[in-house]
Amino acid sequence: MSINRRTALGAVTATGAGALSACGGEEQQPREPGGKDGELRLPTSDVPEGGGVVRERVVVTQPRSGTFEAFDATCPHQGCAVDEVTEKAIVCPCHGSEFDPTDGSVTHGPAEKGLTRMKATVKGDEVVVS
Ligand code: FES
């Protein structure tokens, strides 16, 4: 019996030893962005103007006052979760790719394509991402 990468990673996870990513050992969260029903709600006040937050594998940014954008946090390079949002970039910790907080496009490789955009709608004092 041969053991491929998927089998090996599944065995590590099944033993409770923790999930190791393909990017150097960072712990990864479950893959589905936005929670069980695919929708994420958070107070608009949780998203700093000129910055953003990462919740449940979703990046929510507010590049301009009252304008919210959302992206799947999965880095298109090798699948790590981006974890930092600055005024100028959404940053992947694994190999340093950076993405534009306004549209998710790549601003610094090694990623060759941008983050997957999600729909962000303001309802009252919440941002609803679907
Ligand atoms: S997984 Fe390599 S830069 Fe994000």
Domains of the chain, by residue range, sit at 31-129
Q: Which residues, judged by CB distance below 6 Å to any ligand atom, belong to the binding site of ligand 1?
A: 23, 75, 77-80, 92, 94-97, 110-111
Q: Which residue has the higher pLDDT, 48 or 15?
A: 48
CATH fold of 31-129 reads Rieske Iron-sulfur Protein (2.102.10)
Q: What number does the ligand 1 atom closest to the CA of 78 have?
A: 1
d(CA 92, CA 80) in angstroms, rounded, equals 7
- 41 SS3 class: strand
Q: What number does the ligand 1 atom closest to the CA of 109 have?
A: 3
d(CA 30, CA 19) in angstroms, rounded, equals 10
* Residue 82 CA, ligand 1 centroid: distance in Å: 8
What are the two backbone dihedrals, phi and then psi, of residue 128, each rounded to the nearest 5 degrees? -110, 120
> pTM value?
0.74
Confidence of residue 37 (pLDDT cuts 50, 70, 90): low
CA dihedral in degrees (41, 44, 50, 54; nearest 10)? -30
Asked if residue 104 lies in contact with residue 69, where contact means CB atoms within 8 angstroms, the answer is: yes
Read off the pLDDT of residues 65-119 as tens digits, 9 standing for 90 and up: 999 999 999 999 999 999 999 989 999 999 999 999 999 999 999 999 999 999 9
Nearest CA to ligand 1 atom 3: 95
d(CA 97, CA 111) in angstroms, rounded, equals 6
The pLDDT value given to residue 7? 39
d(CA 50, CA 87) in angstroms, rounded, equals 5
* Residue 70 CA, ligand 1 centroid: distance in Å: 19
